[in-house]
């Protein structure tokens, strides 16, 4: 994965956190360096996205549930609050932002290339359409 996307993601996360800090009465502005370090720590697996076993997944909803189950099981206390999709060198990488009770962010990346390709070539037209809508909701990429 190109460093450009990682830098863009980190910059976006830092910007959001800094905006949050500027409106927060609880955190002084001098903590921005620690926030930056926390963000760098939270995006560790960007270079090596998580690959899940998608063999029994037949719908977009099952794929989402599998990812949420992974987050719940392996990152206790983290709540999935948002996702984005990056297409890089023919691979689809799903970026999930999760937060714990203290609003500490953890960003997880998942390689969902195989399952998206499989679902996009499903014999079920409804499944293909759901996957196209899901991809469109996470990216600005249009599908034909």
- In a domain, residue 72? The reply is yes
Domain span at 90: 43-138
Q: What's this model's pTM, rounded to 2 decimal places? A: 0.68
Number of structural domains (the chain) is 1
- In a domain, residue 21? The reply is no
Written as tens digits, the pLDDT of the chain (144 aa) is 444 455 555 555 555 554 444 444 454 555 555 555 655 555 656 678 999 999 889 999 999 999 999 999 998 898 888 888 988 888 899 999 888 888 888 889 999 999 999 999 999 999 999 999 988 888 754 444
DSSP the chain: --HHHHHHHHHHHHHHHHHHHHH-SSS-GGGHHHHHHHHHHHTGGGSS-B----TT--SHHHHHHHHHHHHHHHSTT-EEEEEEEEEETTEEEEEEEEE-TT--EEEEEEE-HHHHHHHHT-S-HHHHHHHHHHHHHHSS----
- In a domain, residue 25? The reply is no
pLDDT for 61: 93
């Amino acid at each position: 994965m190109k460093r450009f996307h990682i830098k863009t993601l980190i910059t976006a996360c830092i910007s959001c956190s800094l905006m949050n800090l500027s409106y927060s009465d609880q955190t002084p502005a001098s903590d921005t360096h620690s926030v930056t370090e926390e963000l760098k720590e939270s995006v560790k697996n960007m270079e090596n996205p998580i690959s899940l076993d998608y063999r029994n997944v037949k719908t977009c909803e099952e794929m989402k549930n599998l990812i949420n189950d992974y987050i719940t099981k392996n990152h206790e206390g983290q709540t999935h609050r948002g996702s984005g999709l990056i297409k890089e060198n023919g691979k689809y990488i799903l970026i999930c932002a999760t937060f714990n009770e203290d609003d500490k962010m953890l960003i997880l990346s998942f390689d969902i290339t195989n399952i998206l390709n499989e679902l996009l070539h499903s014999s079920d037209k409804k499944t293909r359409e759901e996957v196209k809508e899901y991809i469109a909701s996470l990216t600005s990429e249009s599908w034909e």
